[in-house]
């Protein structure tokens, strides 16, 4: 059984640029959630995708967008990067779009915006 | 809507017990507990789904009081491997934005020899 993987591991961008982060869900999982974790803070929910549809969204602006593919892997896109976007971005996979199921987290992508 | 945890930080000696509390201003339908070690991703510990439910494995257990909108995580006979930041998490449902998940404020737990 393959766990959750994310790429890239680290990324450095400049303000105003765009970035795409990728996540492969655990085998058998059809739901992916994305989180932003600033240094010293808890993860903040960005959005959730279930069977290729956005299933829920946290308090993030529209420049944070996502996709889920038929194989249930997912992308997080952030446009017009700001300095405050510097954080660890975590994805988590789970079953069936329900928030009552346990989430399995990937190792994260560390994004630095200069 | 972020659940509030207490204490913010605790230091234990090996073998001591600890309790971490999680409280929400909104109705709780389920409570998740995760542990995150420094530089690593959160790791799932357990979910509690019913009011008054208790769960546990090994020396870590939890209770969930739906009426009080509170959950507590109990760590007994702590081991060095228990060190990390503990987060409770809860689900929410918004008519506008669908499913949501809120992590608590976090509790840093350090176990020393």
pLDDT in tens, A59-107: 999 999 999 999 999 999 999 999 999 999 999 999 876 667 889 999 9
Alpha-carbon distance of B92 to B28, in angstroms, equals 8
pLDDT surpasses 70 at A22: yes
Query: Does B74 lie at the interface with A, CB-CB under 8 angstroms?
Result: no
Residue among B92, B94, B103 whose CB faces A43 most closely: B103
Backbone angle region of A38, left / alpha / beta, with phi > 0 → left and psi within -120 to 50 → alpha: beta
Q: Using a CB-CB distance cutoff of 8 angstroms, which residues of chain B are in contact with residue A99?
A: 30, 91-92, 99-101
Asked whether the beta carbons of residue B41 and residue A90 sit closer than 8 angstroms, the reply is yes
Chain A nearest-CA residue for B94:
A56
Q: Using a CB-CB distance cutoff of 8 angstroms, which residues of chain A are in contact with residue B105?
A: 42
A45, A47, A68: which to substitute to probe chain B, counting the most B Cβ within 10 Å?
A: A45
Backbone angles phi, psi at A42, to 5 degrees: -85, 160
Alpha-carbon distance of A55 to A16, in angstroms, equals 28
B86, B90, B100: which to substitute to probe chain A, counting the most A Cβ within 10 Å?
A: B100
Q: Classify B22 as helix, strand or coil.
A: strand
pLDDT band at B97 (very low <50, low <70, confident <90, very high): low
- For tokens 């420049």, the residue is A63
- Name every residue in A having a CB less than 8 A away from some CB of B: 33, 35, 41-45, 48, 54-58, 90, 92, 97-108
* Number of residues that this document lists for chain B: 113
Which pLDDT belongs to residue B15?
96
Which pLDDT belongs to residue B53?
63
In sequence order, which ranges of chain A are alpha helices (DSSP H)? none
Of B34, B8, B26, B47, nearest to B87 (Cα)? B34
List of residues 6+ apart from A64 with CB closer than 8 A: A46, A47, A76, A77, A78
Residue among A42, A98, A102 whose CB faces B104 most closely: A42
Tokens standing for residue B13: 């000696």
Alpha-carbon distance of A86 to B26, in angstroms, equals 30
Dihedral of CA atoms B92, B93, B97, B100 in degrees, nearest 10, equals 30
Say if residue B13 is preceded by a cis peptide, omega within 30 of 0. Answer: no
B33, B37, B40, B41: which to substitute to probe chain A, counting the most A Cβ within 10 Å?
A: B41
Pick the range with the lowest mean pLDDT from A2-11, A102-111, B56-65, B100-109. B56-65
Question: Quick one: how far is CA B105 from the chain centroid?
Answer: 10
Pick the range with the lowest mean pLDDT from A1-10, B6-15, B88-97. B88-97
pLDDT band at B54 (very low <50, low <70, confident <90, very high): low
pLDDT band at B96 (very low <50, low <70, confident <90, very high): low
């Amino acid at each position: 059984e393959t766990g959750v993987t994310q790429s890239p591991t680290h990324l450095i961008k400049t303000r105003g640029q765009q970035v795409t982060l990728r996540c492969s869900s655990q085998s058998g999982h059809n739901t992916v959630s994305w989180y932003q974790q600033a240094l010293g803070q808890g993860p903040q929910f960005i959005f959730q995708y279930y069977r290729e549809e956005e299933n829920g969204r946290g308090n993030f602006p529209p420049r944070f967008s996502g996709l889920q593919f038929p194989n249930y892997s997912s992308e997080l896109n952030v446009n017009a990067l700001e300095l405050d976007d510097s954080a660890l971005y975590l994805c988590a996979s789970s079953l069936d779009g329900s928030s009552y199921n346990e989430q399995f987290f990937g190792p994260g992508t560390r994004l630095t915006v200069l | 809507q972020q659940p509030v945890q207490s204490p913010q930080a605790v230091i234990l000696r090996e073998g001591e017990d600890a309790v971490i509390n999680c409280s929400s201003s909104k109705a709780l339908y389920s409570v998740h507990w995760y542990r995150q070690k420094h530089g690593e991703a959160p790791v799932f510990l357990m979910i509690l789904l019913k009011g008054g439910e208790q769960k546990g494995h090994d020396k870590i257990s939890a209770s969930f009081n739906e009426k009080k909108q509170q959950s507590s995580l109990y760590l007994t006979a702590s081991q060095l491997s228990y060190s990390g930041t503990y987060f409770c998490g809860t689900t929410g449902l918004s008519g506008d934005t669908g499913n949501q998940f809120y992590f608590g404020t976090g509790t840093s737990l350090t176990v020393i020899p």
